[in-house]
A = this chain, B = another copy of it.
């Protein structure tokens, strides 16, 4: 019987825990965590993402502020906005929704974020602290995967984990975290990517596969070992005129055939995705607690 790693349910549990922590803070006369989100322009997907983050804040009792800026804003004006957020004592943490318009240097903006308020964990100071096992903000997606592995008590110690994809926001950090000591850690991790040869030889050896590639249904049943644990981070819109929206969301994993072979698997949607917002909230709560 394959275990479904239900990110929707688990994220609801996490949000409920976070809400309890906020309620306790309020009862003790402490301020509620306050997350700000900076959104430049009118990109539809970005609006959707930021909207759900703001709604999630409200649901757990956080304060939230959405700062919407015209896509014609200059880099300097955006940096001034960042400086204001860094200085504002009311704001515990904030995110800058990516992508930014092309005339703005994304790297320069992210480096301007105060690491103490960088609840996305994208600043190199935080990334380095993560890699060196110091207290930090872990980027939400890998943080969500670690939380999921831990809560579902998936054994990782001594297991061989093959990570597909070396992005800075998923593949790289999860490969680091799972090979460190601690909960959901101590795995032997192989990081694979576009230059990897014979990737199926590696995935077939894996006790755990984490796929963060962005190619729909890339991972087939003949590429995994019976009993493997499959974590699917892929979220790709695939055109499908038979659906009312005109598309369906596909993961990196050919779900039906792989699920039949795996011991545990995350569905898409409803797996890793919902964990991401919960971990952003957790980071914001952490930022608020650390400031005190």
A contacts, CB < 8 Å to B: 107, 123-134, 157-158, 160, 166, 168, 172, 175-176, 179-180, 186-193, 195-197, 202
Contacts and interface: CB of A to CB of B under 8 A. Distances in A.
Q: Which 5 A-B pairs have the closest CB atoms?
A: A128-B128, A124-B128, A127-B128, A190-B190, A186-B195
Contacts of A189: 190-191
A229 to B, nearest CB: 16
9 contacts: A123-B128, A124-B128, A127-B131, A128-B131, A160-B197, A176-B176, A188-B190, A188-B193, A188-B202
B191 A188 contact: yes
Stoichiometry (number of copies): 2
Contact of A131 (B172, B188, B192): B172
A186 to B, nearest CB: 4
Given A129-B124, A132-B127, A134-B107, A193 B166 contact: no
Contacts of A180: 166
A129 B132 contact: no
Q: Which of A123, A124, A175 has the most CB of B within 10 A?
A: A124
Contact of A128 (B129, B157, B179, B187): B129
Contacts of A127: 127-128, 131-132
A195 B128 contact: no
A166 B4 CA distance: 32
A117 to B, nearest CB: 16
A176 B191 CA distance: 9
